[in-house]
Amino acid sequence: MDIMTLKRRLEKSDKKYLWHPFTQMKDWQKETPVIVSEGRGSFLKDITGRWYLDGVSSLWVTVHGHRKKEIDDAIKGQIDKISHCTLLGLTHSPAIELAEKLIKIVNSEPQPPKLSRVFYSDNGSTATEIGLKMAFQYWQLTGAKSKKKFLSLNNAYHGDTIGAVSAGGIDIFHEIFSPLLFKTYKAPSPYCYRCELGKKYPSCKLSCLNTVENIMKKHHKEIAALIIEPLVQGAGGMIVSPHGYLKGVRRLCNKYNILMIADEVATGFGRTGRMFACEHEDVVPDILCVAKGITGGYLPLAATITTEEIYKAFLGEYKDLKTFFHGHTYTGNPLACAAAIANLELFKKDKTLRKMQKKIEILKKGLSRIAELPNVGDIRQKGFMVGIELVKDRKTKAQYPLEEKIGWRVCCKAREKGLLIRPLGNVIVLMPPLSISVSELKMLIQITEWTIKEVMGKF
C-alpha cells in the first residue's frame, strides 16, 4: 500500500472511530489531520515524511526532545526487568529511587527541607485531585472539621476530574458541569492586562491580594486549602502573575492557617526557567502537584508531594481508619518511573536550566517584535511559557468573537509553514521543548510572526 493510500485510510478510520480531546468533532471531520509517525529532537514527522517543529512540546510535556537516547534506554532496560507492579502492598526500586530524587529536587536551597513524601498517580488531574483530598482529610484528622472548602482563582485550570474542575475557573471548560461540582471560594485572577478590579500594575500595589485576604479573613475557619498555579495560569491564557503575588499568597496562607497547594503540573520541570515556578519567589507549598514534564514527555506519571506534618496526620492504628483511601492501578508504574529518573538525570548532565537562560532572552527579544504587530494586545512570557493575546482593537482590548476562530486560523496557517502550535481561544501558545536549539527557536519566532501578519492582514 502506497503512503497516500495509507494516509487516506487512516484519516477515514480516525474520523469514523476516534473522539479527540478538547476538539469540536464537527470541525474535525472537515480537517486534514497531521498523522504523526515519528519524533526526533524538537520535530515531529507525519506519515508522508514532512517534518514539523513541535512548538508546544506535544502539549507541554516534552523536555529534552523526542527520542532522547538516555530515556529510550532507561525504558528499554526496565522492560527487561518488569513493566508493571502495583504499589498496593508492594514496592519497587524505580518508585523508591524516583521519590528520593524528587524530594531532593523540591527541597532546593536556600529553603530548609520541608516537602518529604511522594504520592504517585497518573496525570495532572489526579495529582491535584489527590492534593484536594489530602488537604480535606488532614483537617478532619486534626480536629478542624469545619475546614471543608477551598479557595481558588478565576481563570484557573487544575484538571478535568470533578474535584479539579470544582477548583477551576474557566467558564468555557467548566460551566457546563456546574451541577456536578462542589462550591469553592473564588478570588480574582492576577490578569494584569484585563484586571478584574479595573486597576493598573504596579500602581495597584497588588490589590488582588487584598481580595484574597478579605476572603480568608471572613472564611478561614471553613477553608482547608488554597490551590494555585504558581506564576503562570496556563490554560487560562498563559496569565503571568506580577512579581510578589505568589509570595503574598504564601504569607496569607500562613497568616490564616490555610494549606497552600501549588499546581505545578504545567510550570514544573524547567518550563519557567527554574526547576519549579515556586523557586522564583522562594515559596514552599504545603502540597506540590507535578506531572507533564516529569517523564520528559514519554509516559503518564504524576506526583503529589507533601510535608511530613500532613503525612503524619494520617498515621494511626488500622482500626482508626486514618488511611488515605485513594489510589490508581498504575500508580508508580516502573516504566514511567524509569523514564522520570532518566529525565531528571538529564537536567544535570545536559545543564538544561543553565543553557535555557540565553534562549529565554532570545525568545524575549523575538517576542518584542511580535508585540508591535497591530492586533497583538499583550504578550506574556515566563521562561519557555508564552501567550500571545490577539485583539480586534488594541486601544479598547476588544476580543475577537468565538465564531471567527482567530486562534485556530493562526495555528492552521503556522502548520503550512511547518510549525505545530495550539491556541487557547484568542491566545496563541508557544511552549517549545527545553532542549530546542537557538536556530530552531528563531525558526519558531519567525514563523509565528509571519503567520500572525498573514492572518491578521485578512481581518
284-308 per-position pLDDT tens digit: 999 999 999 999 999 999 999 999 9
User: 349, 369, 398 — which closes off a domain?
Assistant: 349
Residue 23 domain-assigned (yes or no): no
Do 396 and 271 sit in the same domain of this protein?
no
Do 46 and 185 sit in the same domain of this protein?
no
Q: What is the pLDDT of residue 38?
A: 98
The pLDDT of 56-76, averaged and rounded, is 98
Domain that holds residue 330: 75-349
For residue 86, pLDDT over 90 is answered with yes
Do 435 and 448 sit in the same domain of this protein?
yes
Q: Which pLDDT band, with edges at 50, 70 and 90, does 111 fall under?
A: low
Q: What is the pLDDT of residue 57?
A: 98
Residue 4 domain-assigned (yes or no): no
Task: Give the helix/strand (H/E) hosting 248.
Answer: helix 245-255
User: 349, 364, 399 — which closes off a domain?
Assistant: 349
CA distances from 185 to 188, 226, 235 (A): 10, 9, 20
Do 380 and 450 sit in the same domain of this protein?
yes
Residue 448 belongs to a domain with what CATH number?
Answer: 3.90.1150.10
Q: Which of 410, 397, 436, 4 is nearest to 191 (CA)?
A: 397
Do 278 and 379 sit in the same domain of this protein?
no
Residue 297 belongs to a domain with what CATH number?
Answer: 3.40.640.10
Residue 159 domain-assigned (yes or no): yes
CB 392 within 8 Å of CB 399:
yes
CA distances from 259 to 106, 278, 285, 368 (A): 17, 15, 8, 38
Residue 118 domain-assigned (yes or no): yes
Q: What is the mean pLDDT of the chain?
A: 96
Q: What is the pTM of this model?
A: 0.97
What are 377-417's pLDDT values in tens digits?
A: 999 999 999 999 999 999 999 999 999 999 999 999 999 99
Do 308 and 424 sit in the same domain of this protein?
no
Specify the number of domains making up the chain.
2
DSSP 3-state of 333: coil
CB 272 within 8 Å of CB 236:
no
CA distances from 391 to 115, 191, 350, 399, 404 (A): 42, 16, 39, 5, 12
Q: What is the pLDDT of residue 1?
A: 79
Do 335 and 368 sit in the same domain of this protein?
no
Do 323 and 386 sit in the same domain of this protein?
no
> If DSSP states are collapsed to H, E and C, what string results for 141-186?
HCCCCCCCEEEEECCCCCCCCHHHHHCCCCHHHHHHHHHHCCCCEE
Residue 25 domain-assigned (yes or no): no
Do 332 and 444 sit in the same domain of this protein?
no
Do 396 and 338 sit in the same domain of this protein?
no
Q: What is the pLDDT of residue 190?
A: 98
Q: Outline where 30-159 has alpha helix (H).
A: 57-60, 69-79, 93-106, 124-141
Lowest mean pLDDT among 24-38, 106-120, 218-232, 334-348: 106-120
3-state percent breakdown (helix, strand, coil) of the chain, nearest 5: 40, 15, 40
Q: How far apart are CA 414 and CA 128, in angstroms?
A: 33
Q: What is the pLDDT of residue 110?
A: 55
Residue type for position 265: V
For residue 459, pLDDT over 70 is answered with no
For residue 49, pLDDT over 70 is answered with yes
User: 349, 380, 411 — which closes off a domain?
Assistant: 349
Q: What is the pLDDT of residue 330?
A: 96
Instruction: Show the cell assigned to 27.
Output: 470541525
Do 101 and 184 sit in the same domain of this protein?
yes
Residue 143 domain-assigned (yes or no): yes
What are 142-189's pLDDT values in tens digits?
A: 999 999 999 999 999 999 999 999 999 999 899 999 999 999 999 999
Q: Which pLDDT band, with edges at 50, 70 and 90, does 344 fall under?
A: very high
Q: What is the pLDDT of residue 213?
A: 98
Q: What is the pLDDT of residue 112?
A: 61
CB 285 within 8 Å of CB 263:
no
For residue 108, pLDDT over 80 is answered with no
Residue 176 domain-assigned (yes or no): yes
Do 291 and 414 sit in the same domain of this protein?
no
Question: ω into residue 110 within 30 of 0, thus cis?
Answer: yes
Residue 60 domain-assigned (yes or no): yes
